[in-house]
Homo-oligomer: A and B are copies of this chain.
Amino acid sequence: MPKPEVDPTVQLELSVDRSSPVPLYFQLSQQLEAAIEHGTLTPGSLLGNEIELAARLGLSRPTVRQAIQSLVDKGLLVRRRGVGTQVVHSQVKRPLELSSLYDDLEAAGQRPATRVLVNRLVPASAEVAAALGVAEDSDVHRVERLRLAHGEPMAYLCNFLPPGLIDLDTDQLETTGLYRMMRSAGITLHSARQSIGARAATKEEAERLAEEAGAPLLTMQRVTFDDTGRAVEFGTHTYRPTRYSFEFQLLVRT
């Protein structure tokens, strides 16, 4: 009876296309990630050593390392000196993302709807001006939206954006998410500072979300920065906690 292969990657038909413009390390990391996602590489399985893997693919060791490292950074693999590289045991795989409510809902198959309540220029309040780094009372966009799922209100979103950044077409706001609009306008999102809390609904808030006054609401405030460090969005959101909660995975910084 033949001894089973120790290195599961040998059965994985890995290959790279050197004529492709896609970087070699990226081609490799995508194939490995797909194999993990797909269950071909099972949790706990030990990848073969880097040098042998590099030789088999006709790549240099640093290139293979770069591919593996990117998956380690995503939390999919764990490396141990003297031991090897293993697929992480835990079932949780989704990377941490700057979540977009619209995308979240769409991914969950909830077919979200958006109703734009307000879309106009207003003078910046002190709080908005500080968050966006603009002068107080200068013009900023104010967008108020109600997000619905299955016809039921789920969240009330109030956002402020500096002027001249993107074209805030109301129709487009109703059919896609704000982040997606910013990305297609060539804005590279970089980081966001978030604060998540809770409070009792005021009468107006309750009415908007079809709740009762005093009902608990989940709140989120966020300032988003692009890769030049500009604040590109300040948002104050309220969610119905019976309909929505924040789910995410954190990687421990090392």
Contacts and interface: CB of A to CB of B under 8 A. Distances in A.
How many copies the complex holds: the figure is 2
Given A89-B229, A195-B247, A250-B98, A75 B218 contact: no
Given A229-B88, A229-B89, A246-B197, A251 B218 contact: no
B200 A215 contact: yes
A176 interface: no
A125 interface: no
A160 interface: no
Interface residues of A, number: 50
Contacts of A217: 198, 216
A231 interface: yes
A225 B92 contact: yes
A193 B249 contact: yes
A252 B216 contact: no
Contacts of A193: 92, 247-249
A229 B44 contact: yes
